[in-house]
Amino acid sequence: MSTKSICLYFQVHQPSRLRTFRFFDIGADDHYFDDFANGSIVRRIAANCYLPANRTILRLIEENGRKFKVTFSISGTAIEQFQKYCPEVIESFRALAATGCVEFLAETCSHSLASLASPAEFKNQVKLHTKLIESVIGAKPTAFRNTELIYSDAIGEMVASMGYTTMLTEGAKHILGWKSPDFVYTSAANPKLKLLLKNSTLSDDIAFRFSNRSWESWPLTADKYAQWIADILEKEDVVNLFMDYETFGEHQKAESGIFDFLGALPAAVLKYNGISFRTATETAKAHQPVGPMNVPFPISWADEERDTSAWLGNELQNEAFHKLYALEANVKKTRDEGLMDTFRKLQESDHLYYMCTKFFSDGAVHSYFNPYATPYEAFINYMNVLSDFELRINEKLVKKK
């Protein structure tokens, strides 16, 4: 068996976008979500990305047998929107699952930051997500990735307590220091939990730099990229390529050649003896960990800081975050499934991301994903929704007395 691994992992997520909710709507209207925007956006991305990319991956699996493998994590909110607006995407993922060459990971059902706020809610969401993947995709998750690859020793301990032995996170330089992300590590909190760390440079070469004509390595060909991977794997064990699936056809448009690159990558890599594509679970099993990774404070795959400041870096975000989770106990007391569903949709990390006030190097990335003109508009809209939601919860509790 070859001793070197490439783990190719894609995140699939679509948020439940809020409609414009004004102060005068509080107490008068509980229709929070923009169904038109959600439907039109997810259908567009399905046409640009999910369907053609899934067709490409299925073809590559058929051409290469069990030599080409990939890993996905699909958020519960994305699955719900696929079911509602483009069920053909679900069928295309089921076809991938049936090949036996594609792994589907567990995560929080609502793509939430519950791991930073409520252990109970975090564990409940993971259980919900696992059941959803099993029932809809037909695959049982055995490895885990947290929202935005957020990880800390405390989160690792929770994940290990749920029975997971493999988890994905970021190879953050301020945590690794002189060490390389291209090995398997263990959680400092529980050595039974193996950690796969993103190779940020190689991942971002595809996700962010692929179509940048001013980049010194443009144009990026599959052969050139495979050589970079082979050079790393002469001395190290694994290359973990983690990125948003929307990279293919949405962030990097089809005319950039991104699908041609994906289609040529397996053959370019497999020319090198001793290198195998493996799923996340297979990668963790194939390599001995080189040591524990201590992460006292949460890390993520976002921005230069690789921390949680993209979602909790300013007063607006923290006020919204704390107000939301202050409602948890009362929402659960209502035992109302509709309110619980809304509560989970309001936990999606995207709502806080839209309030980010970062500029400079990370500003362009944030503005690309932001439907609001300013972070302050995002904050006001979200807080208006939360105010109305709190009224609905209190009304329900009064009726239960």
- Residues 304 and 390: their CA atoms lie apart, in Å, by 36
Q: Which of 103, 107, 121, 148 is catalytic?
A: 148
**HSE-up of residue 64 (Cα within 13 Å, Cβ side):** 25
Active site residue 134: no
**HSE-up of residue 333 (Cα within 13 Å, Cβ side):** 16
Best CA proximity match to 13, nearest among 211, 325, 201, 247: 247
**HSE-up of residue 230 (Cα within 13 Å, Cβ side):** 15
Residues noted as catalytic: 148
